[in-house]
Structure 1
Amino acid sequence: MAVPSWLERLRAASKTALVQDGKRKIHYLFEDGKEMAEEYEMKTGQLVSRKWREKNTLGGSGKWQVEVGEPTSPLLGPLESDLIKESSSNPVFMRKDTLTSFQWRIRNLPYPKEVYSVSVEKEQRCCVIRTTNKKHDLPLDAAALSFTHANNTLIITYQKPKEILAAEEQLQKELKKIKAANNGDGDCKTQ
């Protein structure tokens, strides 16, 4: 019986372990320079988190990429925290495995369960999450869908249908009719 290549890679890696806060933490250093850090619950042996990082173009350590567990929020400096940042209400995708199953979670989805459909595509060997298009009742067009991958991020784009663009254009015309509040340049008298 052949040993899976994943197991062979783990066995060949340089490993260090630490027990802290009821968790066994293991750090792997692979021959190609990649690092992996895992945390397991001591009592159950359940995987709590798995993160990866590799050297950046200058040879230094890159940022950790979370594969399993809670995504880590970046520590923001005083200047960065005042800049534009992603809304905390945006959906967050994460993987959290149990002892007996793989589990994926998408947080911040406010719609009821009936809106979602989850299925297995045997031919493609994947799970597919679908939502019903209740907002606009327009058919989906495969030609409007595209994706790219950059900086460890998968970017999926769907071009807005002409009906949506027309409705948004009408909305903008209506919004322009609303008189804007003064910026404070007005009747302020100095003493």
Structure 2
Amino acid sequence: MAARGWLESLQQAKKTAAVQEGKRKVHYLFPDGRELVEEYEVSNDQLTVRKWKQKNTLRSPGQWQFEVGEAFSRAVGGLEQQLIQESSSNPIFTRKDTISSFQWRIRNLPYPRKVYSATIDPAERCCIVRTSNKKYYKKFNIPDMDRCRLPLDCSALSFTHANNTLIITYQKPAEILRLEQEVLQELKKMKVTDDGDVDCKTQ
């Protein structure tokens, strides 16, 4: 099963972990040079951040690609802050999951709910959000489903709209829920300290 293969790749990666400010932070280094960082709320095991750094000479060093969470959530002042302010009226697309579902928020969408539609393209394995007034169009995949090679189910997709924010929800299938529990069990076996120092065993 593909989900088993993904779990094995996580198990084989070099891992370090720390608990800081109520969050469990885990860093993975894969044999091909890719890096993965995840952050979980200690109180409820909710994943809040997942970001990747690829080993790619075409990409600027130190550039993280956020799969879950927001790239600018920790930005403070300077040019970065100015850029955020300049684009504050544009739609902002982020993923913020719940325990039982994958969830995406698209802020700064002021149109009434009736103009939105959310559909699945099985051939391209992606979700498509569009408006009937042709003001917004977004196509995105679900990396978790792709890693486990699971088919997308149209009945699992839904959306709501409130406060200029469109919230798209995809209910996690049983295979994903089971995999996430197994990953958490593995992470909780790692020895960490509460001050952020990682307890590593060297060979």
- Following superposition, the deviation at residue 54 of structure 1 comes to 2.6
Q: Distance in 2 between matches of 1:83 and 1:23?
A: 28
- Following superposition, the deviation at residue 61 of structure 1 comes to 3.9
Q: Distance in 2 between matches of 1:82 and 1:101?
A: 33
Q: Distance in 2 between matches of 1:52 and 1:84?
A: 22
Q: Please say which of residues 117-126 and 91-100 is displaced more in the overlay.
A: 117-126
Q: 1:8 to 1:91 in 2, by over 3 A?
A: same
Calculate the TM-score normalised by the size of structure 1: 0.59
Answering whether residue 84 of structure 2 is matched by residue 87 of structure 1, we say no
- Map 1:69-108 onto structure 2 (within 5 A): 69-72=69-72, 77=78, 86-108=86-108
- Following superposition, the deviation at residue 86 of structure 1 comes to 4.7
Q: After the TM superposition, which segments of 4 or more aligned residues of structure 1 sit over 6 Å from their partners?
A: 80-85
| Higher RCO (C-alpha 8 Å, min separation 6) | 2
Match of residue 171 from structure 2: none
Q: Distance in 1 between matches of 2:66 and 2:78?
A: 21
Answering whether residue 126 of structure 2 is matched by residue 126 of structure 1, we say yes
Q: Distance in 2 between matches of 1:81 and 1:48?
A: 22
Percent identical residues: 61
Calculate the TM-score normalised by the size of structure 2: 0.56
Q: 1:116 to 1:23 in 2, by over 3 A?
A: same
- Following superposition, the deviation at residue 121 of structure 1 comes to 3.4
**In the TM superposition, what whole-angstrom CA distance separates every residue of 1:91-120 from its partner, at most 9, and x where no partner exists?**
111111111111111111111111101123
- Structure 2 gaps of 5+ residues are 136-203
For residue 6 of structure 2, give the secondary structure of its aligned residue in structure 1: helix
RMSD: 3.2
- Following superposition, the deviation at residue 82 of structure 1 comes to 7.1
8 Å contact kept, 1:49–1:69: yes
From the two aligned structures, give the one with the greater helix fraction: 2
**In the TM superposition, what whole-angstrom CA distance separates every residue of 1:12-34 from its partner, at most 9, and x where no partner exists?**
11000100111100000111111
Task: Give the structure with higher Rg (CA).
Answer: 1
Answering whether residue 19 of structure 2 is matched by residue 19 of structure 1, we say yes
Match of residue 44 from structure 2: 44
8 Å contact kept, 1:54–1:61: no
Q: 1:66 to 1:110 in 2, by over 3 A?
A: same
